[in-house]
Chain A
Amino acid sequence: MSADPILGAMRAAGAGMGAQQTRLRLSAENLSNADTPGYQRKLVPFRVEDGLVAPGRTRLDTREGERVYDPAHPLADAEGTVTLSNVDMFVELADAREAQRSFDANLQVFGQARRLYDGLLSILRRP
């Protein structure tokens, strides 16, 4: 059964859906921590594993966050500036939307593979 192309298509679509779910989760984590001082946004590169997509190691974006002058902040340093997170809300929202689109595309392919298989079986099923 592992050499069946239809099942291979379903498995590839399933791997794609899982990878996009990971991407969406990281976008949500970044967005929720957009105001946390010192937070570095998480990125995940995708890689190919035996033809299927797999999320690689999550790494941090090492860019410096925005420095804001706020002496009253409890985390202000000697000059009174606080380093906020390096999360850009619009970038994260666009990433989340792209993840959703890719997930929908993979879901469609999964459904089409299933319909292909059902069509094949329906040839045998004539009354």
Chain B
Amino acid sequence: MIEAVGAARAYGGLGEVLRSAAPAAEPDKLSEGARAFAAVLDRADQAAAGFATGAVDAQGVVEAMAQAEAALQTVITVRDRIVAAYQEVLRMPL
């Protein structure tokens, strides 16, 4: 579970990069999605930290981690499909 939280923080960093790259004046769908994804991972991070200090109960931690896992799996799957489609296009004979 600790490794999953570490991976979650890494993807949260990706959210930060996306947030800073897009200009603040025009919130488009991609940056909104990245921000929501980063928020889900932040909640799991805080839940895990709160559980260590005793502020959050076990059920809160499990729920937050389950939602973070689901969001992570979604993003990974969608990214894999996009990359696979890109590679298929690259493989087309000229």
Contact = CB atoms under 8 A, between A and B. Distances in A.
Interface of A: 1, 7, 10, 14, 17-18, 21, 110, 114, 117-118, 121, 124-125
Contacts of B56: none
Interface of B: 36, 40, 57, 59, 63, 66-67, 70, 73-74, 77-78, 80-81
11 contacts: A1-B36, A10-B66, A10-B67, A14-B63, A17-B59, A110-B66, A114-B70, A117-B70, A121-B74, A124-B77, A125-B77
Contacts of A17: 59
Chain A: interface secondary structure? Answer: helix
Given A10-B66, A121-B77, A124-B81, 15 more contacts: A1-B36, A1-B40, A10-B67, A14-B59, A17-B59, A18-B59, A114-B66, A114-B70, A118-B73, A121-B73, A121-B74, A124-B77, A124-B80, A125-B77, A125-B80
Contact of A10 (B40, B63, B73, B81): B63
- Majority-rule SS of B interface residues: helix
Contact of B67 (A7, A21, A118, A124): A7
Nearest to A125: B77
A124 B36 contact: no
Contacts of A10: 63, 66-67
Nearest to A127: B84
Contacts of A125: 77, 80
Contacts of A21: 57, 59
